[in-house]
Amino acid sequence: MEQTKPTKEITFSILFSLSLAHFLNDAFQSIISAVYPILKENLILSFAQIGLITLVYQICASVFQPLFGFLFDKKPSPLYLIIGTVFTCIGLIFLAYANSLFLVLVSVAFVGLGSSIIHPEASRLTHLASGGKHGLAQSIFQVGGNFGSSLGPLLAALIIAPYGQKYILFFAIAAFIAIFLKLPIFKWYSQKLKRIKSGQEVHTIAKTSALPRKTVIFSLCILLILIFSKYVYMASLTNFYTFYLIEKFDVSIQHSQFFLFAFLFAVALGTFIGGPVGDRIGRKYVIWASILGATPFTLLLPHANLFWTCVLSIFIGVILSSAFSAILVYAQELLPTKVGLISGLFFGLAFGIAGIAAAVLGNLADVKGIEYVYNICAYLPLLGIVTIFLPNVKLHKKS
């Protein structure tokens, strides 16, 4: 009889396939914020209505993520990634022809649901294919998403801004094609599930033993504060950066989207750096340096000219974005038997906090002006000081 043994090797082919899936998903998702100036002009929307669109999208992309993550842990299936992409495709088709605020809200709700299916499942599979190198694996996965997010505004500037809203349909077609690009993951995961169920394969599971439950809960609360700090500030840039540049420096819509691309590209670069560094020196130190380290740059940004605004936003993107992979893997190490749930919870929190922040900041921008928003948000990374209260996570493993 063949002896079963734990899987130790990192599966790079699947990690890169999952990163590609994340790349495509987040490229489609980022089209929403990238076309805000176009929707605002076509439908005569206020900043508050722009914030409402983001709120609906982020709620659909966040509230359901922990629920889906919990379901995927209990009832794994290779179909989930494909189902999520179908939802995204439907949402993009609706968005291309939306001629009212209501239809825009329906469109972004579909896109958000697609995201809340794809993120926890793909992150869970990333953990499964990591071979124990969780920080590196999450960085490979995350960098795909962030490159996709950075590409969305660039494609919007080149395709949608010059020709109109209906050209979003091209991205819906691309989402349909993306369904077939997920077939290698589908095949790999189907075979893995069969081997696990038949007993041919056993996985090594890390189990926390050094930290009591109260410490775990306290640590998760600290991580929640850090997620709040990071994603409220990120919401101010991803949703209102183009408006800030247009209002303060009188740049065109198309040029503002190129600046947004530069910032989001920097976010992708920072994400790739954070995971492997966390594997080497410890995730707590990466979290500490990432969030608190962005403070000097965020404080300078509201007072800079156009050139230095672009430069500072790139530094902010690289530094601040290196935290998420470290935060996510740290949380997974706190509750290692609930990887899908934790992935869904933290992706959901990131999306939900960003959505609520967009709505609040949109209303604030209508009342006080967009520059006021950036002056207030500049102080948020100071909350990174609470990282000092995070314990060092000690793990032992069991089969």
Domains in the chain, CATH or no CATH each: 12-398 (1.20.1250.20)
Backbone angles phi, psi at 81, to 5 degrees: -60, -40
CA nearest neighbour of 62 among 352, 327, 356: 352
Strands 205-208 and 395-398: antiparallel
Other CB atoms within a 10 A radius of the CB of residue 102 amount to 9
Binned at pLDDT 50, 70 and 90, residue 137 comes out as confident
Looking at residues 274-283, what average pLDDT do you find?
Answer: 76
Beta-bridge partner residues of 202: 6
Mean pLDDT of the chain: 82
Residue 323 burial (C-beta neighbours within 10 Å; 0-12, 13-18, 19+): buried
Contact (CB, 8 A) for 241 and 36: no
Model pTM? 0.67
Q: Which of 99-108, 139-148, 263-272, 329-338 has the highest mean pLDDT?
A: 99-108
Q: What percent of the chain has pLDDT over 90?
A: 19
Q: What percent of the chain has pLDDT over 70?
A: 92
Does residue 207 come out as left (phi exceeding 0), alpha (psi in the -120 to 50 range) or beta?
beta
Backbone angles phi, psi at 304, to 5 degrees: -95, 160
Measured N-to-C along each axis, helices 101-128 and 80-97 cross at an angle, to the nearest 10 degrees, of: 160
What pLDDT digit, counting tens, does each position of 160-207 carry? 878 888 888 988 998 898 888 888 888 888 888 887 777 666 554 445
What pLDDT digit, counting tens, does each position of 111-125 carry? 989 988 888 888 788
